Amino acid sequence: MQLINKENSEFYSSKTGLPIHVLEEMYVSESKFHEEILAENDFDRRTALYEYIYTKSAKATAPYLKEYFFDLIDAKKLILNIYKKEFEGKSIIDIGCGSGAFLYVVAQSGLSYKTLYGLDVKAPTFPKDAFSENIKTIQSSIIKFSVPQQFEAAMLDNVYEHIVPADKAFFLKSLSDSLVIGGKLVLIIPSRLFGPADWTLLVDRTFSGNLEATCLHVDETTFKETMDNLEKYGFGNFKSPIPFIALNPLKQIFPNFRLPSSFYAAIEDSWLMRLLKKIKFRGKSLFRMEVTIIAEKIK
């Protein structure tokens, strides 16, 4: 286990509202989980480890996050703006929906949709209003799951990296089965090349890939690896919006801009990108990328 940087603890305590001791306790317990689950060969014992650590982390943060749902609303509005054309008029499921903030934003946005479902191990608690009445929830494992219908669009926002490689086959099969042919899957995943992006940030928050994630992120990945895995389960026609974090404002101005994901796969670990990611602003890599892919189920 790496030593925590005091300045990083203070930064994220200020940013999240979580006391430093809570952050540091989570780092210790999640690091232990990371080591144990990657070494575990039994599916049921891995399932128990997932349940234990996510329950523990949720209890640790709950007293400090009462307004967190409404903070997330603003972030999810920006995400919906980028992927609006993938979701408009569709039957929608958010897999690993967490607080349900994305679903709530869709419901209140005025965007047309057929059905709106969220799936997670714990059903989210929504504000009691007309928007929430249109959202249905499924309380289920997100690794092996079944859904009451096939959907035309699915959101997978910062979920993929939480599933260990040993469970990816179950997970991707369930994902594929949940979509109709021609259905779209939107993935947002931290890139391993610009990590870490879990509480290993308490050790290194340069986002330069110098240190692998060692907490809840058990499979931070790359464009190429993700597309290779998705192709095995019937996905193709991969497209991506601009993946550079620093250019998020530009994505809001040109939300429909897409390039083949293969373009970003070709440059993500090129000599040019390795050179560019050494350029830092306020200690962080300026050209940090995330893995953002729109995949179509083609078979």
DSSP letters for 237-277 = EEEE---BGGGHHHHHHSTT--EEHHHHHHHTTSHHHHHHT
Distance of alpha carbon 6 from alpha carbon 248, whole angstroms: 29
Mean pLDDT, the chain, rounded, equals 93
* Statement: residue 269 has pLDDT above 70: yes
Taking domain 69-297, whether its CATH number is 1.10.1660.10 is answered by no
DSSP codes joined into one string, 164-194: -GGGHHHHHHHHHHTEEEEEEEEEEEEBGGG
How far is Cα 279 from Cα 293, in angstroms, rounded to an integer? 25
pLDDT tens, 103-142?
A: 999 999 999 999 999 999 888 878 888 888 899 999 999 9
Q: Per-residue pLDDT for 62 more than 90?
A: no
Mean pLDDT over residues 230-255, rounded? 94
Task: Out of 7-11, 74-78, 124-128, 199-203, pick the least confident.
Answer: 124-128
Given this model, what pLDDT does residue 105 score? 96
The 8-class DSSP code of residue 295 comes to E
CA distance 169 to 232: 9
The predicted-structure confidence for 177-236, as pLDDT tens digits, reads as follows 999 999 999 999 999 999 999 999 999 999 989 899 999 999 999 999 999 999 999 999
Q: What is the DSSP letter of 172?
A: H
144 touches 121 (CB < 8 A): no
pLDDT band with cut points at 50, 70 and 90 for residue 66:
low
Q: At what angle do helices 168-177 and 223-231 cross, to 10 degrees?
A: 60
Give the residue among 230, 234, 199 at the shortest CA–CA distance from 213. 199
Q: How far apart are CA 107 and CA 114, in angstroms?
A: 11
Handedness of CA 224, 38, 157, 16 (dihedral sign): negative
Residue 271 · residue 207 · CB < 8 Å: no
Q: Are 201 and 170 in contact (CB under 8 A)?
A: no
| Tokens of residue 93, six digits | 């499921």
pTM: 0.93
- CA 71, CA 253: separation in Å to the nearest integer? 22
Residues 6+ apart with CB under 8 A from 39: none
